[in-house]
Amino acid sequence: VSLTKSQPIAVESTGRSGSKFYQSYDRLFIIKTLISEEVEQMHVLLKEYHPYVVERHGKTLLPQYLAMYRLTVEGAETYLVVIRNIFSSHLNVHVKYDLKGYLSSKPRPLLKHRSSSGLVQGSTVDREASEKEREKDIPTLKDNDLVKDGTKVHIGADAKERFLELLTADVNFLAQMNVMDYSLCLGIHDVERAEQEALERERAEALMEEVDNGTGGSDALPPSDEDEDSAGSGLADAVPTPPDSPGGGRFRNELGIANGLFNPARDIYAIGSLDGSGKKEVYFMALVDVLTHYGVKKRTAQAAKTMKHGAGAEISTVHPEQYAKRFLDFISKAID
């Protein structure tokens, strides 16, 4: 129903592969076009992906691949993959990051101090949002932006341990599959901001209704506390519930986040901020872009970059095991 009731909506992409992205009308699913190398890697990955997900009882942060299609129009073939949306269908994301876990020192020298987030401060064109990207309502920020902003994921020690156990298992699986260049997609829902936005929308709608009815706005009653609670919840009950992720909801219940803000069976990638952390937030975190194989082209790129920048430089193209270690170290430091 999600893909047939209404036409998918095109989503502006910031990726370098040229892939196009679409979102189902109810925001439950993402449709992505695949380039030829990704199609080839998908066939290789799926042979091990399914047994791995079954072995993990569905407790994984890997993309939830649901279907892959080949469309042929006038002899031109296009491959599409349908993926479960990481973000919520009813809670808006206010800040978004694409994190690969490295801070290159090009073209400006690496700054030898630590930011408030505890990570080594650096600078790179590739790993920070461009000026054009920042003009968007919700830009996709990157590693350097997270460090400069001092952003932390405040979920507490217990939730961090469980999350990193999941992430480590998945990253080790990707390393065994000779995959690198993947990212952790991090979306942050600011609860207080969402409540304020909902209140402002409610007031604007009430004012418009008064204007339409010719009643004016001076004597309008303020919204009740009950109304504000209803508006702040942001729940779209009319949205159909997708198939549950095997084990996903159970894991989130173990983290103790079924706090009324969201449905763990629906928002399978959601983790609530720790009480007393200073800010009430909901984090959506999962792995994306897991179809880059470390083959001849990547080995050649690594050799060229190493010769240019030196063996000690942080470069994007490295062996999958080195990429995994660097990635896990960065993400671990970003979580409280």
**Superfamily, domain 9-192+236-334:** 2-Layer Sandwich (3.30.810.10)
Q: Are strands 281-288 and 270-272 parallel, antiparallel or unpaired?
A: antiparallel
The alpha carbon of residue 323 and the mean position of all alpha carbons in its chain are separated, in whole angstroms, by: 19
Q: What is the pLDDT, as a whole number, of residue 295? A: 61
For residues 288 and 36, is the Cβ–Cβ distance under 8 A? no
Helices 157-176, 320-334: crossing angle, 10 deg rounding: 170
The reply to whether 32 belongs to the active site is yes
**What's the pLDDT at 216?**
57
> Which 3 state secondary structure label does DSSP give 205?
helix
Per-residue model confidence as pLDDT tens for the chain (336 residues): 899 999 999 998 756 678 899 999 999 999 999 999 999 999 999 999 999 999 999 999 999 999 999 999 999 999 999 999 999 999 999 999 999 998 755 544 434 444 444 454 433 346 899 999 999 999 999 999 999 999 999 999 999 999 999 999 999 999 999 999 999 999 999 999 999 998 998 899 888 888 888 765 445 445 444 444 433 333 333 333 333 343 444 344 434 344 447 888 889 999 999 988 888 999 999 999 999 998 635 444 444 444 444 444 455 568 999 999 999 999 999 999
**41, 292 in Cβ contact below 8 A?**
yes
Predicted confidence at residue 254, as pLDDT, reads 38
CA nearest 11: which of 93, 69, 70? 93
Provide the token pair at 204. 């604007």
The catalytic residue among 26, 145, 170, 181 is 181
* DSSP helix/strand/coil, 239: coil
Contact (CB, 8 A) for 99 and 186:
yes
Residue appearing with tokens 């279907």: 67
* Strand pairing class (95-99; 140-141): parallel
Map out the domains of the chain as residue ranges: 9-192+236-334, 195-233
Residue 149 CA to residue 5 CA, distance in Å, equals 40
Query: What pTM was estimated for this model as a whole?
Result: 0.76
- Yes or no: say if 45 and 29 are a contact pair by the CB < 8 Å rule: no
Whose tokens are 């994007």? That residue is 316
Catalytic residue, candidates 26, 32, 267, 289? 32
pLDDT value of residue 66:
96
Instruction: Report the C-alpha gap between 268 and 16 in whole angstroms.
Output: 28
Three-state secondary structure call for residue 110: coil
pLDDT for 127: 85
Residue 271 and residue 161 in contact, taking contact as beta carbons nearer than 8 Å: no
DSSP-assigned letters across all residues of 114-182: B-TTSSBP---STTS--HHHHTSSS-EE-HHHHHHHT--B---HHHHHHHHHHHHHHHHHHHHTTB---
Pinpoint the alpha helices (H) of the chain.
36-55, 131-134, 143-149, 157-176, 191-213, 225-233, 248-254, 296-309, 320-334
The pLDDT of residue 105: 52
